[in-house]
Amino acid sequence: MILYIDTTNGNKIEIALGKGERTLVREEFEAKYSQAEKLLPAIKKMLAGKKIKLSAISEIVIANKSGVNTGFTALRIGVVTANALGYALGIPVRGAANKLKSKKFSGFDVIEPVYSQNPNITKQKAPAVD
């Protein structure tokens, strides 16, 4: 199961679930200045509506349906959410910087995050002293 997240439009969010070539559910809603408050609850509601567990997601795609980014902060919220979910679930987060249409989900261009190292999202614990 693939979760698609598009927060590139500063006024709305679009999310979808796909399996293979099929789109199971797709939702779009207004979220101007409220992407951080609305994204995770919307994902939870979408999964619950289809009776799908979060653990059933095997991949997350950071998408850009319009090909234009009108909300930098909104985009960051989508990327951070995707990366946090991917890290917590141990699944890949992907995209394509060259704006190729995704063959798995038509209508979306995807954005490829490029990392020079593994994520460092928590403070390192001090080594145990014997």
| Domain with 11 in it | 2-110
* Three-class DSSP category at 41: helix
In a domain, 123, yes or no: no
> Is 127 part of any domain?
no
Q: Mind listing the pLDDT tens digit for each residue in 116-130?
A: 666 555 666 677 776
**pLDDT for 20:** 81
Task: Look at 68 and 96; give whichever has higher pLDDT.
Answer: 68
Model pLDDT for residues 10-33, shown as the tens digit of each residue: 889 999 999 987 899 999 999 988
6 domain-assigned: yes
Q: How far is the C-alpha of 113 from the C-alpha of 65, rounded, in Å?
A: 16
At 97 the pLDDT is 42
Structural domain contains residue 120: no
> Tell me, what's the pLDDT at 104?
47
Q: Which residues of 6-19 are buried (b: 16+ CB within 10 A; e: fewer)?
A: bbbbbebbbbbbbe
Q: What is the pLDDT of residue 115?
A: 54
Gap between the Cα atoms of 67 and 63, Å rounded: 9
- Within a domain: residue 29? yes
In a domain, 80, yes or no: yes
Residue 103 is predicted with a pLDDT of: 47
pLDDT at position 10 is 83
Which residues lie closer than 8 Å to 129 by C-beta, 6 or more apart?
A: none
CATH for 35:
3.30.420.40
Confidence of residue 99 (pLDDT cuts 50, 70, 90): very low
Number of domains observed in the structure of the chain: 1
Per-residue pLDDT tens for 35-89? 999 999 999 999 999 999 999 999 998 887 766 666 678 888 998 999 999 999 9
